[in-house]
C-alpha cells in the first residue's frame, strides 16, 4: 500500500518497534494517496501489538539468560 521496498519496510518496522521513531517513514502520509481511516487505525493497532510482542520476546530472552547464569553459577542468587 505504501509503495516501499522491502528494505524500506524493514527499516520502518525496526525503527518503529525499537521506539526510536525518526519520522522519516510514516504510514499513511503520502500526499498523492487518499488513505481510509481504517488503514491508519489498523497500522496503529499493529504497532501497539508488535511492541508488546517485542517486549515479550526480550523478556523471555532475559529470563532464559538469568536461568542459565543461576544454573552455571551455583552461588548466584536471583
**Structural domain includes residue 57:** yes
- The pLDDT score that the predictor gives to residue 62 is 96
pLDDT tens string 5-57? 999 989 988 888 887 778 788 877 666 777 677 877 888 898 899 889 989 99
Q: How many structural domains is the chain composed of?
A: 1
- The pLDDT score that the predictor gives to residue 63 is 96
- The pLDDT score that the predictor gives to residue 5 is 93
Per-residue pLDDT, averaged over 55-64, amounts to 95
- The 3-state DSSP class for residue 31 equals coil
- The pLDDT score that the predictor gives to residue 35 is 66
- The pLDDT score that the predictor gives to residue 1 is 62
**Domain range enclosing 14:** 6-72
**Structural domain includes residue 1:** no
Report the C-alpha dihedral over residues 4, 45, 14, 18, rounded to 10 degrees. 150
Contact 41, 62 (CB under 8 A): no
Which CATH number covers residue 20?
1.10.287.70
**Structural domain includes residue 41:** yes
**Structural domain includes residue 45:** yes
**Structural domain includes residue 53:** yes
Amino acid at each position: 500500500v505504501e509503495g516501499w521496498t522491502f528494505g524500506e519496510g524493514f527499516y520502518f518496522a525496526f525503527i518503529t518497534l525499537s521506539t526510536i521513531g525518526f519520522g522519516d517513514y510514516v504510514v499513511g502520509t503520502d500526499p498523492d494517496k487518499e488513505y481510509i481511516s481504517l488503514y491508519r487505525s489498523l497500522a496503529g493497532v499493529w504497532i501497539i501489538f508488535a511492541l508488546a510482542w517485542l517486549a515479550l520476546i526480550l523478556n523471555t530472552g532475559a529470563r532464559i539468560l538469568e536461568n542459565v547464569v543461576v544454573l552455571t553459577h551455583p552461588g548466584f542468587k536471583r
